[in-house]
């Protein structure tokens, strides 16, 4: 079967958190642009070196770089049932993706800004896998260590308060219009809530409608 989806939402709205629950329940392949860029940064690849200049400032990486990077990642995807997280982030990226690949559903997480600002302070990530923790919510079993591999967790450089504000500004200006792009296509599903636990059951029930029982069993 084929199922192609995108998850949208402001920085720290819980895209990574909800995505990991989707992966667990539905087996979609999670392709997260930010996670992939961070791995490239630690490996000092050409795209990593270029992207770091923007990420550290809370700015979006230029569209031409991002479109090539993600189209290439999609070609590497193992199957055709995936969930794209963090891309597209501009209308121009959304149009480029639509030309390459039509989507089945776009999930948009709507979380109040004051909740977001609070969350990033306690975020810890396992860089190779993108697994995300929070000291207040979903704390790792052993502080500073990934639950699955036992490897070190890190705090993201772009999670300092000044950079977070810039990221939110960029989101308002450049990413919010992407929501309307998908609304016009008739494939947008919106989920409001203050916590991921409140949002998750609603996401799950929508996906159950999109992925018929038979296909869920196969995944």
Q: Within 138-157, which residues bind ligand G5P (CB under 6 A)?
A: 138
Q: Is 13 annotated as a binding residue?
A: no
Query: To the nearest whole angstrom, how small is the minimum distance from the Cβ of residue 187 to Mg ion?
Result: 21
- Residue 55 as a binder of ligand G5P (CB under 6 A): the answer is yes
Q: Is 132 annotated as a binding residue?
A: yes
In the complex, residue closest to Mg ion by CB: 16
Strand partners, 132: 125
Q: Pick the closer one to ligand G5P by CB: 101 or 216.
A: 101
First to last CA, the chain: 9
In the complex, residue closest to ligand G5P by CB: 34
User: Which residue numbers are catalytic?
Assistant: 15, 89, 123, 156, 167
Q: Pick the closer one to ligand G5P by CB: 1 or 197.
A: 197
Query: To the nearest whole angstrom, how small is the minimum distance from the Cβ of residue 32 to Mg ion?
Result: 6
Query: To the nearest whole angstrom, how small is the minimum distance from the Cβ of residue 89 to ligand G5P?
Result: 4
Question: x/- binding map, residues 3-42, to ligand G5P, per CB under 6 A?
Answer: ------x-xxxxxxx---------------xx--x-----
Pick from 31, 74, 132, 153 the residue near ligand G5P by CB under 6 A: 132
Query: To the nearest whole angstrom, how small is the minimum distance from the Cβ of residue 84 to ligand G5P?
Result: 9
Chain contacts with Mg ion (rule: CB under 5 A): 15-16
List, as one string, the DSSP characters of the chain. --EEEEEEESTTSSHHHHHHHHHHHH-PEEEEHHHHHHHHHHTT-HHHHHHHHHHTTTPPPPHHHHHHHHHHHHHH-SSSEEEEES---SHHHHHHHHHH---SEEEEEE--HHHHHHHHTTEEEETTTTEEEESSSS--SSTTB-TTT-PBPB--GGGSHHHHHHHHHHIIIIIHHHHHHHHHHT-EEEEE-SSHHHHHHHHHHHHHHHS-HHHHHH-
Q: Which residues are annotated as a binding site for AMP?
A: 33, 38, 59-61, 86-89, 93, 156, 167
């Amino acid at each position: 079967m084929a199922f192609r989806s995108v998850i949208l939402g402001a920085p720290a709205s819980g895209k990574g958190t909800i995505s990991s629950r989707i992966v667990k329940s539905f087996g979609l392949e999670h392709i997260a642009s930010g996670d992939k860029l961070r791995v490239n940064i630690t490996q000092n690849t050409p795209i990593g070196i270029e992207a770091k200049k923007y990420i550290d400032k809370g700015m979006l990486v230029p569209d031409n770089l991002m479109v090539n990077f993600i189209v290439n990642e999609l070609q590497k995807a193992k199957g055709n049932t995936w969930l794209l997280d963090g891309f597209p982030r501009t209308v121009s990226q959304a149009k480029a993706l639509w030309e390459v690949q039509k989507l089945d559903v776009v999930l948009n997480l709507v979380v109040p800004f004051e909740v977001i600002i609070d969350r990033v302070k306690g975020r810890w990530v396992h860089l190779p896998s993108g697994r995300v923790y929070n000291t207040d919510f979903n704390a790792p079993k052993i502080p500073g260590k990934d639950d699955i591999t036992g490897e070190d967790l890190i705090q993201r450089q772009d999670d300092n308060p000044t950079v977070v504000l810039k990221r939110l500004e960029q989101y308002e200006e450049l990413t919010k219009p992407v929501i309307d792009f998908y609304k016009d296509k008739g494939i947008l599903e919106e989920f409001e809530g203050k916590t991921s636990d409140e949002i998750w059951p609603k996401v799950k029930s929508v996906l159950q409608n999109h992925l018929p029982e038979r296909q869920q069993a196969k995944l």
